[in-house]
Chains A and B, each alone.
Chain A
Amino acid sequence: MIEINALTKTFNQGQPNEVKAINGINLQIANSEYVIIVGSNGSGKSTLLNLVAGSILPGSGTITIDGTDVSKLHDYQRSKWIARVFQNPLSGTAPDLSILDNFRLASLRTKPKGFGIGVNDGFKAAVKEKIALLNMGLENKTDQLMGTLSGGQRQALTLLMSVMDDCKILLLDEPSAALDPRSANVVMQTADRLIKDFNLTAILVTHNLKDAYTYGSRIIQMAEGAILHDLSSENKTVLTQNDLFSWFS
């Protein structure tokens, strides 16, 4: 359960180019909710996601995850709860490391990285099994460098990596924005499947209204750092694609 209370974030405070990115947001996200956040550029949705992830720290207000106040924790301290998929496929994986090594790190997201050698045959087999779920034929290429894969493959693997370790919250920052339509579909469907299979609480930021319509159990529209619309599951199911388009006109 994520609780956000009176959250604000201002960039360049006191300067002429001051931006009030988040303007006192209150939001509660229940366990296993899949929240879609839409909004035009500069509406503050990415900032909100970064605040939840801890890449930036709030100006005021609090963020609580499962009863723990995480407002002052850095991103690497919040990895205990949170896994992320970035817009840029390059950000979620290390290109010069093998697929296997990437997965090894992902499997240690909530644990310290010690001085033992963790990549052994058992681990290799477990990773292969997981990757086979993607049906991309990557399971026999685990020694290949991550950088040799396409953006779509990397994004799909990043998704899979997020469930290598105990994961409660999945943050998706336009994960398919940099991909071609087909890969984008694969990534969105993989995300949907993982969220359901692992019972994850997820937040998806997207510009793609079709995705916003298709996926998720709740939809939020943001504008000028505040929440404009907030439709929970019953209301989201009756929402038509046209209604959604009309939000932006």
Chain B
Amino acid sequence: MGLCFASLALGIYISMKIFNIPDITTDGSYTLGGAVTAVMLTHGQPGYVILPVVILAGATAGALTGLIHTKLKINALLAGILVMTALYSVNLTIMGRSNLPLINLPSLFSIISLSGNSNNNAFIILVAFTAIVAFLIGYLLKTDFGIAMRATGNSESMIRALGVNTDKMKIIGLALANALTALSGYLISQYQGFADISMGIGVVITGLGSVIIAETLINWLRITSVWLSLTLVLVGAVLFQLVLAVTLSLGIDATYLKIITSLFVLLIVGLPRLTRRAA
């Protein structure tokens, strides 16, 4: 399950760490990914059509946030909230109702059979899927375009003086980030066997938590390599889910799950600062 969130974490990593934009669209585009997947599956669309549509849907949502943020000069947080809120209706319209079960429909995990055990099978597929996505993003960040992307969030005055349209770059970046988020929705809805209108609520925290775990590790180990950073983001995503799973297995009421999530993220964010002050 942690691996399902890996691409979400990569998306948040791109918007938050690379572009320095806190992007809340995530909650909506994640559900959008799930909703599109569910509806297309129930209508018997083949998998190779669903995947690009999901990516495109997520990218459109992200590009909208980007457009609102750059062209209308509206605070990124607010732009994200606006798009996220609007997406709620969009998602509900797409699904037609608040919950769509996908039991007995062919999913990514049932079509491809690499192992007799369905759990192992899902695991292998997810690892492969995540590896491909991470590889593509890693490669992108290494290219000249990728360097320009990283510089956009880092030193806007510099990169404009070097001939990059930063507005365009931010729109592309947010589109990419939300396409990745939608991909997470695509995976999780097939993995869990349903899409739900509220599946995206608070999911941005999951992504943030993963990225922050990764960031703490990156700072700790003084990592500058793009590949290692991306790997740590993936590790962060899995670690985050593990911690939640452990908390639940300790017998804590599931009602408290979200508050525990929040507290956990707070802990990771706060811990390095507290220890630094003590030192």
Contact = CB atoms under 8 A, between A and B. Distances in A.
B35 interface: no
Contact of A75 (B140, B161, B224): B161
A117 B144 CA distance: 6
Given A53-B161, A86-B158, A118-B144, 11 more contacts: A76-B165, A79-B160, A94-B159, A96-B150, A97-B147, A105-B159, A105-B162, A108-B148, A113-B148, A115-B140, A115-B144
Q: How large is the interface on A (under 10, 10 to 19, 20 to 34, 35 or more residues)?
A: 35 or more
A97 B140 contact: no
A95 B154 contact: yes
Contacts of A33: none
Interface of A: 53, 55, 74-77, 79-80, 82-84, 86, 90-98, 101-102, 104-106, 108-111, 113-119, 143, 145
Contacts of A118: 143-144
A91 B143 CA distance: 22
Nearest to A85: B161
Contacts of A105: 144, 147-148, 151, 158-159, 162
Interface string B107-118: 000000000000
Contact of B162 (A96, A109, A114, A143): A109
A101 B147 contact: yes
A147 to B, nearest CB: 9
B143 A79 contact: no
A98 B226 CA distance: 11
B157 interface: yes
Contacts, number: 98
A89 B144 CA distance: 23
Interface in B96-154: 139-140, 142-145, 147-148, 150-151, 154
B157 A101 contact: no
Nearest to B142: A117
A80 B161 CA distance: 10
Nearest to A110: B163
The 5 A-B pairs with the shortest beta carbon distances in the complex, nearest first, are A79-B163, A94-B154, A94-B155, A94-B151, A91-B157
Contacts of B150: 94, 96-97, 101
Contacts of B143: 113-118
A94 B169 CA distance: 16
18 contacts: A53-B161, A74-B165, A83-B161, A84-B161, A91-B158, A94-B159, A97-B151, A98-B224, A105-B148, A105-B159, A105-B162, A106-B162, A108-B148, A113-B144, A113-B148, A115-B144, A143-B224, A145-B224
A110 B164 CA distance: 10
A59 to B, nearest CB: 20
A82 B163 CA distance: 9
B166 interface: yes
B37 to A, nearest CB: 28
Contacts of B145: 113-115
Contacts of B155: 90-95
Given A86-B157, A94-B155, A95-B155, A80 B147 contact: no
Contacts of A106: 162
Contacts of A90: 155
Contacts of A104: 144, 147
A88 B158 CA distance: 11
A113 B157 contact: no
A113 B154 CA distance: 17
A83 B157 CA distance: 12
Nearest to A91: B157
A115 B155 CA distance: 21
Contacts of A98: 224
A109 B161 CA distance: 8
A113 B158 CA distance: 15
Nearest to B163: A79
Interface string B153-197: 011011111111110000000000000000000000000000000
Contacts of A84: 161
Nearest to B145: A113
Nearest to A158: B158
Contacts of B165: 74, 76
Instruction: With a 10 A CB-CB cut-off, give which of B139, B163, B164, B224 has the most chain A CB atoms.
Output: B163
A119 B143 CA distance: 8
A119 to B, nearest CB: 8
Contacts of A75: 160-161
A80 B158 contact: no
Instruction: With a 10 A CB-CB cut-off, give which of B139, B165, B224 has the most chain A CB atoms.
Output: B224
Nearest to B164: A76
A73 to B, nearest CB: 11
Contacts of A113: 143-145, 147-148, 164
B139 to A, nearest CB: 8
